[in-house]
A and B are shown apart, each in its own frame.
Chain A
């Protein structure tokens, strides 16, 4: 579904991604982990063609990324950003309907189908009550669920999430990831940049760890979510215990053992 070869990305002279190679198959749910500044967001921006690739090739759904018309790409890929930066009082339903843009023609208006898709997306994200409220007047967590609804309304095969649930409370975090899992079972492919290690372990089948713009570890969650990997990558002491119900590895941190603070 996503195929990346020799991807190098730069901001000016600063190299952010140093030659990445990986593939994500159809129907995978992959966690993209790594410390701040490791290049997660840049990678997602490369995949959604926000940042221009400097070298390397990226293919999405079997087609070279650069050959997609912009609108068509948005039919294949939907992105959820970390947060919404908006200073205009759009109604939430209008924001969700923006997710239908990739499927609309010039001068067109929202069809009944667009509205139905948007409302279904709002129902799934528990935001239907907010439909007529202004996006500037609801809480950050509510707005975040509205953007997730917007991405769902795109009906894309690939979902690129950038800390999509970081601002949500625990209940909504779990609710959203249950929803992603459900969509994943229906065939959608997910690549999720995350900071919440334990949430990643609970939901992702495979983890890709980035550090300083390079892939350090890439493999099934059970094999890669180890004390050694996590301690090395995050430069802090980590203990792993199994989740009492599912047995998924969960990370416990040790106070006072951070190596990141410059000695």
Chain B
């Protein structure tokens, strides 16, 4: 028994190591791939120089800019966003006790999309502050505003309930979607920008976006990891969680805020990228079990890897050099894959 537990821990650590190695290799590999292929030696040299580890001048100016400023920042950002979505997805599925929930179930994404749409309509799309642009800022405000609304409406007699939470999320999301549609109707010029943003993309994103989202990502991860054990117990339902000594209200609010921060940070710099937050936690849960401490860590890596390579596909698939929205890639790959997962798991889990 003790041996088997130790074995399962070893399997987890091994899986973690493999994923960490894969992530490192992927970051380097993906940075070399693009319209201008760059050999891996130059990639490593350029990264070393960019980080100030190698004396400047070792790598030519052109590959240095392409590798470090353009590609590496984008690769890192896509990995971080994927991680955030993977973690947020596993937390939302746990809190809502529904394996079909995803980071966008309670309306955070609609809030972000509304913020972005507003920015486009007001013609702020081009304005930038320290190279950041107003879009991420307004998207973040929108996402956090939506969360605040959901938390407010989801409360019944001072208690945050699971079913009212989902309903409040649907109401807020539907209302915001209507407002977005209104903006589109009133301002036809903004339509294509809004549509493209909503589909999700990393085009033109750089280190500034990494810096912008990083604090929220760290805070979000901290909040959810701290409550991972409570999240396990919460999946048994509110009544049993209380009887096992969990302060349901406090823990649920903390998890909700943490997961929403992760979602908001991700959406604000990349748009609404679907399926990562739905499929990744599923896959991890099926192979490594449901315990959230492990689920969260592994989902972070797998989500990061998944989105990193999806973005590589998005920027290299079309020969002419045009980019696909990465949200289209994840949906095209994730949709059929998810169907396959559901099919294979006949019986097993009850979807309530």
> Interface on A for B, CB 8 Å cutoff?
45, 48-50, 70-75, 77-79, 81, 84-91, 93-94, 98-99, 101-102, 104, 106-107, 115, 119, 128, 131-132, 134, 136-137, 154
Chain B residues near A72: list those with CB within 8 A: 245
Quick one: which of B190-240 are within 8 Å of A by CB? 226, 229-230, 232-233, 235-240
Tell whether, in the assembled complex, residue B240 and residue A88 are in contact, meaning their CB atoms are under 8 Å apart: no
The residue from A45, A91, A98 contacting B244, defined by CB atoms under 8 A apart:
A98
Specify the chain B residue showing the minimal Cβ separation from A123: B1
A50 in contact with B349 (CB, 8 Å): no
Residues from chain B with Cβ under 8 Å of A89 in the complex: 285-286, 289-290, 348-349
Query: 23 A-B Cβ contacts within 8 A?
Result: A48-B242, A50-B239, A71-B247, A72-B245, A81-B239, A81-B243, A84-B236, A84-B240, A86-B235, A87-B98, A87-B99, A87-B349, A87-B351, A87-B352, A88-B349, A89-B348, A90-B235, A94-B232, A98-B232, A98-B244, A99-B244, A102-B244, A115-B2
Additional A-B contacts beyond A94-B290, A115-B5, A136-B348 (12; CB < 8 A): A48-B243, A70-B246, A78-B243, A79-B240, A79-B243, A84-B240, A86-B236, A90-B289, A90-B290, A93-B5, A98-B232, A131-B1
Are B350 and A136 in contact, with the CB atoms below 8 A?
yes
Q: A81–B241 Cα gap in the complex (Å)?
A: 11
- Collect the chain B residues with CB atoms within 8 Å of residue A107's CB: 226
Question: In the bound complex, how far is the Cα of B6 from the Cα of A132, in angstroms?
Answer: 12
Tell me the dominant secondary structure on chain A's binding face.
mixed
A224 CA / B24 CA spacing, docked (Å): 72
Closest-CB distance, B278 to chain A (whole angstroms): 15
Whether, in the assembled complex, B97 has its beta carbon less than 8 Å from a beta carbon of chain A, the answer is yes
Instruction: Tell me, yes or no, whether B4 is within 8 Å of chain A by CB.
Output: yes
| B291 adjacent to chain A (CB < 8 Å) | yes
In the complex, how many angstroms separate the beta carbon of B224 from the nearest chain A beta carbon? 13
Residues of B within 8 A of A136 (CB): 348-350
Q: Which residues on the B side are within 8 Å of A102 (C-beta)?
A: 244-245
What's the nearest-Cβ distance from chain B to residue A257, in Å?
37
The reply to whether B242 and A50 form a contact with Cβ atoms under 8 Å apart is yes
Asked if residues A101 and B244 are in contact (CB atoms below 8 Å), the reply is yes
A-B CB contacts (within 8 Å), total count: 99
Minimal beta-carbon separation of B254 from chain A (angstroms): 11
- Cβ of B94 under 8 Å from chain A: yes
Beta-carbon nearest neighbor of A99 in chain B: B244
Which of A77, A89, A94 has most B Cβ within 10 Å? A89
Chain B residue at minimum C-beta to C-beta distance from A131: B1
A88-B99 contact, Cβ under 8 Å, with A74-B245, A101-B229, A136-B349: yes
- Which residues does chain A contribute within 8 Å of B236, judged by CB atoms? 84-86, 98
Closest beta carbon of chain B to A42's beta carbon, Å: 12
CA of A48 to CA of B245, assembled, Å: 10
Check B244 against A119 for contact (C-beta < 8 Å). Answer: no
A84 to chain B, nearest CB (A): 7
B291 adjacent to A101 (CB under 8 Å): no
In the docked arrangement, what's the CA distance between A134 and B290, Å? Answer: 9
Q: In the assembly, what is the distance between CA of A194 and CA of B36, in Å?
A: 74
Q: Interface centre among A90, A98, A107, by most B CB within 10 Å?
A: A98
A48: B residues at CB distance < 8 A: 242-243
Closest to B348 in A: A136
Which residues on A sit within 8 Å (CB–CB) of B4? 131-132
The answer to whether A88 touches B285 (Cβ under 8 A) is yes
**Central interface residue in B4, B240, B245, by most chain A CB within 10 Å:** B245
A14 vs B5: C-alpha distance when bound (angstroms): 49
Nearest-CB residue, chain B, relative to A118 = B1
Write the B274-306 contact mask toward A (1 if CB under 8 angstroms, else 0).
Answer: 000000000001100111000000000000000
The 6 closest A-B pairs by CB, nearest first: A74-B245, A88-B290, A102-B245, A71-B245, A79-B243, A90-B290
The distance from the CB of B157 to the nearest CB of chain A, in whole angstroms, is: 9
Using Cβ atoms and an 8 Å threshold, which residues of chain B touch A49?
242
Within the complex, what minimum Cβ distance (angstroms) separates B258 from chain A? 15
Which residue of A73, A86, A119, A131 contacts B245 across the interface (Cβ within 8 Å)? A73
B244 touches A74 (CB 8 A): yes
Which chain B residue lies CB-closest to A110? Answer: B5
0/1 string, B136-179, CB within 8 A of A gives 1: 00000000000000000000000000000000000000000000
B341 to chain A, nearest CB (A): 13
Q: Is the CB of A87 within 8 A of B350?
A: yes
* Complex CA distance for A93 and B2, rounded to whole angstroms: 11
Task: Report the separation of the CA atoms of residues A115 and B351 in the bound assembly, to the nearest whole angstrom.
Answer: 30
- Is A70 a contact partner of B99 (Cβ separation < 8 A)? no
Chain A positions within 8 Å of B291 at CB level: 90-91, 94
Contact check, A94 vs B289: say whether CB atoms are below 8 A apart: yes
Instruction: Find chain A residues with CB under 8 A from B226 CB.
Output: 106-107
Shortest Cβ distance from residue B233 to the other chain A in the assembled complex, whole angstroms: 5
**Cα–Cα distance between A137 and B290 once the two chains are bound (Å):** 13
- Closest B residue by C-beta to A135: B290
- State whether B289 touches A70 (Cβ < 8 A): no
Taking a contact as CB atoms closer than 8 A, the residue among A70, A86, A134 that contacts B242 in the complex is A70
| Interface flags, B87-129, vs A, CB<8A=1, else 0 | 0000000100111000000000000000000000000000000
Q: Chain A: which residue is nearest B97 at the CB level? A: A87
Looking at the complex, which one of A45, A77, A90, A119 makes contact with B239 (CB distance below 8 Å)?
A: A45
Residues of B within 8 A of A134 (CB): 289
Question: Could you tell me if B348 and A74 are in contact, using CB atoms closer than 8 angstroms?
Answer: no
Please name all residues of chain A whose beta carbon is closer than 8 Å to the beta carbon of B247 when the two chains form the complex: 70-71
Q: Give chain A residues whose Cβ lies under 8 Å from the Cβ of B1.
A: 93, 119, 128, 131
Residues of B within 8 A of A78 (CB): 243
